[in-house]
Amino acid sequence: MAGLTRRAFRMKLKAGNEAEYQRRHDAIWPDLAALLRAAGIVDYAIFLDAGTLDLFAVMTLAPQADPGPLPEHPVMRRWWDFMADLMEVEPGNRPKEWPLVQVFELE
């Protein structure tokens, strides 16, 4: 993974929304997927801890990735609005995120 950067963070799902969260991500909007790829995100996975409803996200970024403008993009804002009823969010519907610190990697 030379040159790639990985970011991991935690989000929180609201109780009773597990199936709907999965359904919406199974039907990810093509324009959102294209936007993420254009920002240099080469891999993005989200895992659910069903016991706590914590969502763990791991994102891999290309060497020249620039995800900084994503929060202001209309497609991203529309996705956040679409998902806001399922998750804990900040004002403006951005999902609350808690960064995770990497403590191990097997290479």
Which residue numbers are catalytic? 25
Rounded CA separation 64/106 (Å): 24
Do the beta carbons of residue 36 and residue 7 sit within 8 Å? Answer: no
Amino acid identity of 75? V
